[in-house]
Structures are given as structure tokens and as C-alpha cells.
Amino acid sequence: MIAIYPGSFDPITLGHIDIIERGCKLFEKVIVAVLQNPSKTPLFAIEKRLNQIHYSTQHLSNVEVASFDGLAVNYAKMRQAKVLMRGLRVLSDFEKELQMAHTNKTLLSEIETVFLATSNEYSFLSSSVVKEIAIFGGSVDHLVPQHIAIDIYKCYDKIQPILNQQ
């Protein structure tokens, strides 16, 4: 069975990668589908995000990285996927994601949404948190893969922070 893991992944975090790795154990194929959202101004261009994700998931043989625009259910149908995979961190995520799952079901009755609870160490982590830390010069090395941390530091024209000076 094919699962679609849709999102903006701007940037992809270690929490996202954890969900992808765990999804790969459950499904024959996981398509990490990067949404092209014209209403958002991303930190990284779509091609850059695709490359970052591809590099971050190259150790997983059943992952494909692609982009799409429009509704996730339409993309899932086009790719013959039966599952939308979503990660849950906190209760507010559940409320939003459950509403979206019900909405998606009204749009495409054969689609199922599978929720994976985030691993404890990533329960606070989001792409927004990563960007906020980085913009103020904090280290994001423990939140994203190293190659992405370097890309983030370049975006904010910052040198890699030196932490743990005690």
C-alpha cells in the first residue's frame, strides 16, 4: 500500500524524518509530497526542499520525494495511494488533523488518514520553531539534519552558533 506524507517541509526536521522512517515500516511506499503553496513565502524554494528531503531520506529504500499543488486527496488518487500519513505532536494538532481527515474523507471516500504520534524527543518540534530559533542566531543542529542546518545558517546569513560554553 502507498502512503502520501504531505506537507510544506520548510525545512524538514528530525521529527518529520522520524515519521517518515516509521511510516516506511508500515507501508510499501511512502511518498513525501511537498505542497507548492502560493499563499506562503517559504524559506527554501521547492527544488531545494525536494533535494534536502531526498538527501535526508536516501537511507530509506521505499521513499519517493515529489511535489504537488492543489488538494492532497487529488494527488493521492493520481498516485494510487490509499493513505494520507500525518504526524501528531500535541492535542491541538489532533483537533486540526482530525477535521482535515474528515474533510478529506468527504472529498475522496476511499482515502484513509493514518496518524503517527511523534516520538517524545520531537514533541515540541516544528519547522516554524526551527526558523524562529535560527533567525535569532540559535543553534538548530539538534533539530534538523546537518546539511539542512548549514542551509538554514546560510539563509539567515549567520555563522553556525557555538553553544555549551560554560
Binding residue positions: 8-9, 16, 40, 72, 86-89, 97, 122-128
Write out pLDDT tens, residues 94-121. Answer: 899 999 999 999 999 999 999 999 999 9
The region of weakest confidence among 55-59, 80-84, 109-113, 154-158 is: 154-158
Q: Is position 131 annotated as part of the catalytic site?
A: no
What are the pLDDT digits (tens) for 64-78? 999 999 999 999 999
Beta-carbon contacts of 89 under 8 Å, excluding residues fewer than 6 positions away, are 15, 118, 122, 123, 124, 125, 126
Q: What is residue 165's predicted lDDT score, i.e. its pLDDT?
A: 44
Give the pLDDT band of residue 164 (cuts 50, 70, 90).
very low
Instruction: Map out the domains of the chain with their CATH numbers.
Output: 2-121 (3.40.50.620)
| pLDDT reading at 87 higher than 90 | yes
Residue 166 has pLDDT above 50, yes or no: no
Q: What is the pLDDT of residue 160?
A: 58
Marked catalytic residue, from 40, 102, 147, 154: 40
Mean pLDDT of 132-141: 92
Is residue 148 pLDDT above 80, yes or no? yes
% of the chain at pLDDT higher than 70: 95
Lowest mean pLDDT among 64-68, 88-92, 157-161: 157-161
pTM: 0.90
Q: Is 25 tagged catalytic?
A: no
* Rg of the chain in Å (alpha carbons): 16
Active site residue 127: yes
Q: Is 40 a catalytic residue?
A: yes
